[in-house]
A and B are shown apart, each in its own frame.
Chain A
Amino acid sequence: MMRAHRFRYHAARSLADAAAALRDAGPGAMLLAGGTDLVPNMKRRQQTPPFVISLRRVPELRGLAARPDGSVAIGACVTLSDLVADAHLRACYRALWRAAAQISTPQLRNMGTLGGNLCLDTRCNYYNQNYEWRKAISFCMKAPTGAAIAQPDGGICWVAPSSPRCWAVSSTDAAPALIALAARVTLTSTQGQRAIPLADLYADDGMTYLTKRPDEILTSVELPPAAAGWRSTYWKLRRRGSIDFPVLGVAAAVRLGAGGAVVEARVVLGAVASHPVVVDTQALLGRPLSDAAIDAFADGAAWHAKPLDNTDFALGWRKKVARSYLAGALRELRGDDPAALGLLARRAATLLPVVA
């Protein structure tokens, strides 16, 4: 049986307690929320923190509420199932709801948290392997932080051996959706709190993929008020309708004005780089989502998808589907019936949990 390494454990009872514990623990300590990312990583010895601080009993991280101004604040430890069960999110923040509803499996959505998904370790099938397997390839540069087991020098990225950097893939579903929804996140430490746009949380690097300081805790996500005219969606590509991480995510949000002209648009690609890729939508603005406009945009935007050979599916095919998904998501947003958008589009648009 795969087992975790031995570590010290502290169950934080309040946010202040958690922040203090994280500060005092020094480098290498890790936060535990739902455990669905950290625990397997510990069992595979990818991450071997000597000290684990549990956020499960921190009441401040559990809230999910609309504020008087119409914005919505979601605590980082709200489970994905709770998000999916929320009628307001389902109605007004569809991209987030669809993203959350397609993460992993029903059991893991009961455990996994929104904050956990946003901080999900980047993934690579040279890296998400057991200790013994990684030993057989002499490891890679994405060495675990705070390793209890000393690993030999593994200074190479096996996906792109001539590259100086790590190309592990950002595999969060929630991040592209939330960036498309212009979400901000709050980071808390013993020094106080700061809020940043979610997009700024991510760096284009497979190893240092978060910009937050090690002593900061992602504590909440804030969605702007659901303004009239906004529509959003999230399309996820994976081999199976469950269990699998995305090999492509397309999050799109548009605000349509009179005559269907696009007033604002945000499109974000997930799982095609080490960070969620925000696509320039200038070309969409000021005119309706015609077939021609959508196709021209999709052709250009698909260029941003630069998948490498470190996930499921052939990379050339993933790139091809990126174009198809971009166009399909926008067609859905302009009101097309997803059933008419082709088989894979129909699957992307309809495969959702029926039970909240």
Chain B
Amino acid sequence: MNNVHMRLHVNGESCEVAFAPHKTLLEVLREDMGLIGTKHGCELGECGACAVLADGKPVLSCLLLGIECDGMDIMTVEGMAGDARLHPLQEAFADLGAAQCGYCTPGFLVTAKALLDKKPDATRDEIKEALSGNLCRCTGYIQIFEAVEAAAAKMAPAHREKP
């Protein structure tokens, strides 16, 4: 099968890529675009490690064919920090122990970002639910929940006083 040539819009940049049509976005990002921040733990949609944002929504790049991403706005962990400054979620994850081995972390980060973008004052239960497709074997999740809450507080000062 011949490669397809197409433009992908990733992390705010349009990029021309050529890849085999049976490749998933995960493979294209990692192998054809050098964006190795997106990880994989099963390639079958069972762990959440490969989550990226497609038009602002978290999806699993291991189940999305690259060829289907025409016109989509893709964001990976590499795109979370616009510049050298980290996104508040990244700061909080780093500071509060939410990343231990760091392997599931990119998937958690982009998923949490989508949540806070939509619901800046997400409750603990909402955070748990939003992250329930991401497995982490290291942390027991609690420091992840706390980091999301800390980032939310930092991003939306008006909510800081809420219990």
| Chain A residues engaging chain B, CB cutoff 8 angstroms | 1-9, 11, 32, 34-36, 39-40, 42-44, 54, 56, 81, 104-108, 110-111, 241-243, 352-355
If A242-B133, A355-B122 touch, whether A35 touches B63 (CB-CB below 8 Å) is: yes
B70-85 interface (Cβ within 8 A of A): 70
Would A106 and B132 count as touching, CB distance under 8 A? yes
B27-82 interface (Cβ within 8 A of A): 27, 40, 42-46, 48, 51, 54, 57-60, 62-65, 67-68, 70
CA distance A105 to B58 in the complex (A): 10
Would A106 and B130 count as touching, CB distance under 8 A? yes
CA distance A354 to B118 in the complex (A): 12
Q: How far is the CB of B19 from chain A (nearest CB, A)?
A: 12
- Report which of B24, B67, B70, B130 forms a contact with A39, defined as CB distance below 8 A: B24
- Report which of A42, A44, A81 forms a contact with B57, defined as CB distance below 8 A: A81
CA distance A335 to B72 in the complex (A): 45
Would A7 and B22 count as touching, CB distance under 8 A? yes
B111 within 8 A of A: yes
- Report which of A43, A107, A353 forms a contact with B48, defined as CB distance below 8 A: A107
If A104-B133, A105-B133 touch, whether A6 touches B22 (CB-CB below 8 Å) is: yes
If A9-B67, A242-B132, A355-B122 touch, whether A110 touches B24 (CB-CB below 8 Å) is: no
If A8-B1, A105-B48, A106-B132 touch, whether A1 touches B43 (CB-CB below 8 Å) is: yes
In the bound complex, residues from chain B placing their C-beta under 8 Å from that of A4 are: 22-24, 65
- Report which of A6, A32, A104, A355 forms a contact with B20, defined as CB distance below 8 A: A6
CA distance A104 to B70 in the complex (A): 26
CA distance A83 to B55 in the complex (A): 18
CA distance A178 to B22 in the complex (A): 33
Would B63 and A36 count as touching, CB distance under 8 A? yes
Would B118 and A243 count as touching, CB distance under 8 A? no
Would B46 and A243 count as touching, CB distance under 8 A? yes
In the bound complex, residues from chain A placing their C-beta under 8 Å from that of B24 are: 3-4, 39
With CB as the reference atom, state the residue of chain B lying closest to A101. Answer: B129
B126 within 8 A of A: yes
In the bound complex, residues from chain B placing their C-beta under 8 Å from that of A242 are: 129, 132-133
B159 within 8 A of A: no
In the bound complex, residues from chain B placing their C-beta under 8 Å from that of A42 are: 22
